[in-house]
Amino acid sequence: MDSIAIQGGAQLFGDIPVSGAKNSAIKLMAASILTDQPLLLTNMPRLADTRFLGQLLRQFGIEVTERDGADGQESLFHAAELTSTFAPYDLVRQMRASFNVLGPLLARTGEAKVSLPGGCTIGARPVDLHLQALTALGAEIELDEGYVTARAPKGLQGAEIEFPFVSVGATEHALLAAVLAQGTTVLRRAAREPEIGDLAQCLTAMGAKIEGIDTDVLTITGVSSLNGTTWSVIPDRVEMGSYAVAAAMAGGEVRLTKARAELIGSLTDKMIEAGIEVSPTADGVLIKRDPKQRLKAVDVETAIYPGFATDLQAQFMALMTTAEGVSTVRETIFENRFMHVPELARLGADISVHAGEAHVNGVEVLHGAQVMATDLRASMCLVIAGLVAEGETTVGRVYHLDRGFERLEEKLGACGADIRRIKGTGDEH
C-alpha cells in the first residue's frame, strides 16, 4: 500500500491548476444513463472514484471513452442501449455515490436492482431519503439481502417532495429521476451546493426542464427523453480549498488556476481573518503568506452550503494547529469527522475533543512522524500539517487521497514542496 513522505519546511511558490469537481463529475456520469445519445464531459478528473463509476457504467452496457481533449481530460459516455440494470455489491461498495445510478436506471427503463453502498445500513449517512423520494415518484421499492429492487412499470410520476433536512445525495438522486417522470416534481428543502447546480444546468442542456436552480426549491417538468450534450465539469472546490490551506500553511505565494474564488468564500473569509492574504484573479485565486508571521486562531463551524464546508474542516484544523491562541472547530454535519485528531496529535498538535467540538491550542512547532489516513479529508489534513512539520512526515493509507486528489504530489512538488510517493505492496482496502 502506497504512502506519501513529506520533508517539512519548504515554502510554496507557483501555480496549481484545480481539477474538475469529483462530486459533480460522478453525478454527471450517472446522468449519461438517462439518454441514448452521447454525453461528453470535459475538465474531467481522473480519480479512483470516477474510475470505479466508469466500471459500473460499463456493466450496464454504456460505452465509456477517456481521452485528452483541446481543454484537457474528457470522457465520452454513450448509453445507446442499456444491456443490464443490475449494480452488484462488488462495484457499488467501492464508492457510496454510485448508489445514485438507481434513479436514472429506474427513470429510463422502469426497473433496477442496485446494491446498498458498502458498509451502509438504513441509519448513519442513510439512503432512506433517496428511497423515500423515489417512492414518492411512484417507484415500488423492495429491500432484500442488501439489494434495492425498484420498479416503475408505468413510469415515474411527478410529485411534491419535501426533504426533512437538507441532503445533497438525496437532492441529486431525486433530480436525476424526476427529469424523465411524467408531470411536475417539486423538491423542497433541496440542497444548494454548486455541484447540484452544475448537474441541473447540464441536465437542462440535455433538454430537461428545471426551474429554481441554485435555490432550495427545484421545480422539474418531466420530459419524454433527453439528448446528449457537451458539458465542462465545474472546478473542485474541495481541492481548491485544500490547496489554498496548504499554501497558507507552508507560506509563500501560490496562484490557484482554473478555479472560481466564489466557490470557497466561506473558507477564504476565515483565512483572511487568520491573517492570510487572499486575492481573486481572472481565473482563480492568489494565496500569499509570510511564514514568519504567525497566524491568529479563528473559530469555524461547519454548515450546509454556502456555510463552511465539512469537507474542509480537517484541512482548516491542520492550519490552526500552529496558529497563535485557541480555536474551536465545531462539526455539525457528520459524526465521526474528528478521526484525524489523534494523527495530528502524533505530529505534536494540542487538540481536545468534546462531543462535536474540537479545541485547538496552537503550538509553535510540529514534528514529523508516521501517521495514518482515516478518510479522504483526513489524508489531506495530514499532508498539510506535514508541509511545516520539522523533519519527515510519512502518511500511510493514501488510497484515500487517490479517491479525491489528482496528481497531488506533482501539483505540490511543482511549487517547491519536498514530497514523494513511496510505492507499497499489496492492497489492504
Q: Measured between alpha carbons, how far is 1 from 202 in angstroms, rounded to an integer?
A: 37
Check 120, 202, 381, 415 and give the catalytic one: 120
Does residue 399 or residue 276 have the better pLDDT?
Answer: 276
CATH code of 3-18+235-422, in short, is 3.65.10.10
Cis peptide bond N-terminal to 280, omega within 30: no
C-alpha cell at 155: 413510469
22 is in an annotated binding site: yes
Does residue 419 or residue 48 have the better pLDDT?
Answer: 419
Return the DSSP state at 98. G
244-254 pLDDT, tens digit per residue, is 999 999 999 99
129 is in an annotated binding site: yes
pTM of the model: 0.94
96 is in an annotated binding site: yes
Q: Which residues pair with 188 in a beta bridge?
A: 162, 217
Helix (H, G, I), strand (E, B) or coil at 234: coil
Q: Which residue has the cell 470516477?
A: 50
| All structural domains of the chain with their residue ranges | 3-18+235-422, 22-232
Q: How much is the mean pLDDT over the chain?
A: 94
Among 418, 426, 368, 419, CA closest to 397: 426
CA atoms within 13 A on the CB side of 45: 33
Residue 280 CB partners (closer than 8 Å, separation 6+):
261, 286
Among 64, 26, 72, CA closest to 48: 26
Q: Are 257 and 283 in contact (CB under 8 A)?
A: yes
125 is in an annotated binding site: yes
Which amino acid belongs to residue 47?
Answer: L
Q: Which residue has the cell 478518510?
A: 375
Does 3.30.420.40 match the CATH number of domain 22-232? Answer: no
Q: Are 229 and 255 in contact (CB under 8 A)?
A: no
Domains 3-18+235-422 and 22-232 share a fold: yes
326 is in an annotated binding site: no
101 is in an annotated binding site: no
Whether residue 116 has pLDDT greater than 60 = yes
| Residue 52 phi, psi dihedral angles, 5° rounding | -60, -45
Q: Measured between alpha carbons, how far is 326 from 359 in angstroms, rounded to an integer?
A: 7
Q: Are 247 and 274 in contact (CB under 8 A)?
A: no
Catalytic, 415? Answer no
pLDDT of residue 426: 56
pLDDT of residue 94: 81
pLDDT of residue 118: 60
| Residue 95 phi, psi dihedral angles, 5° rounding | -155, 120
Which amino acid belongs to residue 58?
Answer: R
Q: Measured between alpha carbons, how far is 210 from 213 in angstroms, rounded to an integer?
A: 7
Share of the chain above pLDDT 90, in %: 87
193-245 pLDDT, tens digit per residue, is 999 999 999 999 999 999 999 999 999 999 999 999 999 999 999 999 999 99
CA angle 104, 99, 147 (to 5 degrees): 105
CB count, 10 Å around CB of 11?
18
Strand order from edge to edge, sheet including 63-69? 63-69, 72-78, 39-42, 229-232
